[in-house]
C-alpha cells in the first residue's frame, strides 16, 4: 500500500508517520504545501491512500484537485469542528480530528482496507467547500486595508479595490485609482476574509471585485476573459473549473 501524508506542520506529519509505522504501514512521501504537492503529483505515480490536512501554509489542500486529477482514497486530518465535515464529499474514507488518536487512526486504516475504493478522479468545488469551512455565525468580512507607505499609513476600503493578485510570490492590491500596493500574506489568506458577494477568486492568481468588471469575453477552452476598468498589466482569465460558479456569482 502506497501512502502519502500532506501536512504543513512537520512535527504533526512526523508524529502521524510514526503512528502509521506502528501499524506496519510505511509512508512513501510527506508533502507540506499546495505548490509542493502539485509538483509531486505531476511527476509521480499517485498513491493508494492520502492522509490530507485541509489548511496548508499556502492555501486549502483541495486546490490540488483543481489542477491535478488525483485518484487516491483520502483520510482527512483536520482541526475543524464537525459542522464543517459535510464539506468533505470527495472519495474520502474517513476523517481524523487533531490531535489524532491512535485507536481512531487504526480504525480509519482498517476501514480503508475493508473498502478498497475504486480509484476515480476527484471532483471538488473549492469555493463551496471554503464557504462550508466557515461557521456562518462567525463570518465578519474585511472592510478595509491599512497599508504602510514610507512614514504614512494609507487606508483602502474594499469597495475601492478592483482586484487582488499574486506575482513573484508577493501579493498586491490594485485600486480604482489605478494604483498597486504590496500587502502582507497570501492571496488565500485574504480571500477567506473578503465578502463573497463582492469578491470572486477567478483563478489561483486573481481575486476580482464585482464592480471592477468592465467586460466579459468568451475565451479559449470554455474559459472567460475579464476586462477591468483600470487594471491592464496582465490578462485575467476565469479558469475553466470556475466558470460555472462565476456565472452564478454575477447573476
pLDDT digits (tens, 9 = 90+) for 56-91: 888 888 788 878 887 788 888 877 654 455 555 555
3-136: CATH number:
3.40.50.2300
Give the three-class secondary structure for 137: helix
More confident of the two residues 132 and 52: 52
Helix residue ranges per DSSP H, the chain:
10-22, 34-43, 63-67, 102-115, 126-132, 187-191, 243-250
Paired with 51 in beta bridges are: 5, 75
Sign, CA torsion 29/12/74/130: negative
Strands 161-167 and 152-157: unpaired
More confident of the two residues 126 and 181: 181
For residue 121, pLDDT over 90 is answered with no
Q: Residue 105: how many CB atoms within 10 A of its CB?
A: 21
More confident of the two residues 246 and 140: 246
Mean pLDDT (the chain, rounded):
85
More confident of the two residues 6 and 85: 6
What integer pLDDT is reported at residue 139 of this predicted model? 58
More confident of the two residues 60 and 102: 102
Mind listing the pLDDT tens digit for each residue in 156-196?
999 999 999 999 889 999 999 999 999 988 888 888 789 88
CATH fold, domain 144-250, is OB fold (Dihydrolipoamide Acetyltransferase, E2P) (2.40.50)
- Choice among 64-68, 122-126, 167-171, 225-229 with the minimum mean pLDDT: 122-126
Across the range 28-40, mean pLDDT stands at: 93
What integer pLDDT is reported at residue 85 of this predicted model? 55
Which residue has 456569482 as its cell numbers? 249
Strands 180-183 and 199-201: unpaired
Q: Please state the pTM of the whole predicted model.
A: 0.52
What integer pLDDT is reported at residue 61 of this predicted model? 83
For residue 217, pLDDT over 80 is answered with yes
Q: Residue 206's pLDDT band (boundaries 50, 70, 90)?
A: very high
More confident of the two residues 68 and 203: 203
Would you kindly state where each structural domain of the chain is located, as residue ranges? 3-136, 144-250
Q: Which three cell numbers stand for residue 120?
A: 476515480
Q: Residue 37's pLDDT band (boundaries 50, 70, 90)?
A: very high
For residue 115, pLDDT over 80 is answered with no
Amino acid at each position: 500500500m502506497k501512502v502519502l501524508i500532506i501536512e504543513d506542520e512537520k512535527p504533526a506529519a512526523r508524529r502521524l508517520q510514526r503512528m502509521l509505522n506502528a501499524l506496519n504501514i510505511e509512508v512513501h512521501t510527506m508533502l507540506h504545501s499546495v505548490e509542493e504537492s502539485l509538483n509531486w503529483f505531476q511527476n509521480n505515480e499517485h498513491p493508494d491512500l492520502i492522509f490530507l490536512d485541509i489548511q496548508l501554509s499556502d492555501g486549502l489542500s483541495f486546490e490540488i484537485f483543481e489542477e491535478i486529477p488525483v485518484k487516491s482514497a483520502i483520510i482527512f486530518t483536520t482541526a475543524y469542528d464537525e459542522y464543517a465535515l459535510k464539506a468533505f464529499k470527495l472519495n474520502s474514507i474517513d476523517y481524523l480530528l487533531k490531535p489524532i488518536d491512535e485507536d481512531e487512526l487504526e480504525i480509519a486504516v482498517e476501514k480503508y482496507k475493508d473498502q478498497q475504493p475504486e480509484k476515480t478522479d476527484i471532483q471538488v468545488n473549492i469555493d463551496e467547500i471554503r464557504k462550508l469551512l466557515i461557521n456562518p455565525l462567525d463570518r465578519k468580512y474585511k472592510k478595509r486595508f491599512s497599508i504602510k507607505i514610507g512614514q504614512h499609513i494609507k487606508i483602502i476600503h474594499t469597495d475601492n479595490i478592483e482586484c487582488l493578485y499574486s506575482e513573484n510570490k508577493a501579493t498586491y492590491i490594485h485600486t480604482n485609482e489605478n494604483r498597486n500596493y504590496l500587502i502582507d500574506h497570501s492571496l488565500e489568506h485574504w480571500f477567506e476574509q473578503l465578502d463573497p458577494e463582492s469578491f470572486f477568486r477567478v483563478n489561483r492568481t486573481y481575486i476580482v471585485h464585482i464592480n471592477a468588471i468592465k467586460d466579459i469575453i468568451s475565451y479559449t477552452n470554455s474559459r472567460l476573459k475579464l476586462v477591468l476598468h483600470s487594471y491592464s498589466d496582465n490578462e485575467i482569465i476565469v479558469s475553466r473549473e470556475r466558470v460555472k460558479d462565476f456565472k452564478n456569482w454575477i447573476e
